[in-house]
Amino acid sequence: MTRKVAGGLQRAFFLWTIAGTSLIVAAAAGAAVVEVFRGTADAGTFVWGMIGIAALLESLVLFAVGLRLRHRYLNRVQSYDTRGDYLADDGSRRPRIPLLGDGQATQNIHNQNLGGN
């Protein structure tokens, strides 16, 4: 279950990577896109402009889908099943309960004297 939850966030990052690549293509075709919208594009510029418009639309859709996946991941209620296994006992006689998330993090709690003594 933990791998499925982490996979959702990884998919969002992967989609954003593809969206960024599509934005680079759209930026490279920027002048052709302007020519298409002005109506002054010749045949080759028209094709390149349509590729740029398609890349821009693709990047917007992939970015929105990535946001949706991230939103779903962040709003998922974490439970004992998705926390991961308890960490191995290191002999310190302190409970080693995994934090919410992938179960690989360790607690970093130190008893510090907060008083002025």
**13-36 pLDDT, tens per residue?**
999 999 999 999 999 998 999 999
In the chain, count H helices and then E strands.
Answer: 4, 0
pTM reported for the whole predicted model: 0.58
Structure token digits, residue 70:
């991230």
**Whole-angstrom Cα distance, residue 88 to residue 49?**
58
List the chain domain ranges: 2-83
Cβ–Cβ under 8 Å, residues 62 and 22: yes
Q: Which residue stretches of the chain have pLDDT < 70?
A: 1-7, 77-91, 93-117
CA 95 to chain centre: 32
